[in-house]
Amino acid sequence: MEKNWYNLSVDETAKKLNTNVESGLSNEGVKKSREKYGLNELKKDDKIVLSIMEHHSNLVPWQFVSKKCGCSLEYMYVNDEGELTDEEIESKIVPGVKLVGITQTSNVLGTINDVKKITKRAHEVGAIVVVDGAQSVPHMKVDFKDSNIDFLSFSGHKMCGPTGLGVLYGKFDLLCKIKQNVPSSWQRYIKYVGQRFVAD
């Protein structure tokens, strides 16, 4: 029986993140899926909050969504040590914020953000959290369940995998919202197999 290497890689990824198989996408599929979620779920008076240390992959999609939806985009700034303080987190993640984008490990500063703490604060005000794990997943333990984040994305090539392979992990109800609204023109990027979202 021929092995399905995509399915094997999804299984291994799920083990690494301490979660069930929920999604695996191409890098382009990850980008488009996040944008689609934002376009469908965010409205004019909503707010998006990002850290100022975001890589463009977790910045540009939300700039696009903000411009399209008319929602506001705000930034959490770092202190002199390159860290987000509790005061900055609590003053920026407030009622009205619907989405928080945060890198777990900055590719520029090397800062490791406490995504569990940030997620707790975000959920208190009714926001979902999108974590960029491109720098963290290959180098440290990342526990999807324990941190309770809503989405986690990272790329295969930074883990010695093939170029162009990306992963978007998410809570299943949120992934279903993306699936329901993906146009047919995107199907070449994303393939759905039961609870698996596997790159073609």
Domains of the chain with bracketed CATH: 5-198 (3.40.640.10)
Q: Mean pLDDT over all residues of the chain? A: 77
pLDDT (mean) for 92-121: 93
Most confident of 55-69, 75-89, 150-164, 177-191: 75-89
- Give per-residue pLDDT as tens, 18-66: 665 544 444 445 566 667 777 778 889 899 999 999 988 888 888 988 9
Decide if pLDDT at 184 tops 70.
no
The CA distance from 113 to 106, in Å, is 8
Q: How far apart are CA 153 and CA 68, in angstroms?
A: 22
Contact 53/103 with Cβ under 8 angstroms?
Answer: yes
**pLDDT tens-digit profile of 31-44?**
666 677 777 788 89
Strand, coil or helix: 73? strand
**Per-residue pLDDT reduced to its tens digit, 112-156:** 999 999 999 999 999 999 998 877 776 777 777 788 988 888 776
pTM: 0.77
Q: Are 51 and 102 in contact, with CB atoms under 8 Å apart?
A: yes
In the chain, what is the greatest distance between 2 CA atoms, to the nearest angstrom? 57
Q: Tell me the HSE value of 138 on the side-chain side, using a 13 A CA sphere.
A: 13
Instruction: Please report the pLDDT score of residue 196 as a whole number.
Output: 43
- 134 contact partners, CB below 8 Å, separation of at least 6: 55, 57, 103, 107, 153, 154, 155, 158
> What distance in Å separates the CA atoms of residue 180 and residue 62, rounded to the nearest whole number?
20
Strand, coil or helix: 157: helix
- Asked whether the predicted pLDDT for residue 194 surpasses 50, the reply is no
Q: From the DSSP assignment, how many helices (H) and strands (E) are in the chain?
A: 7, 9
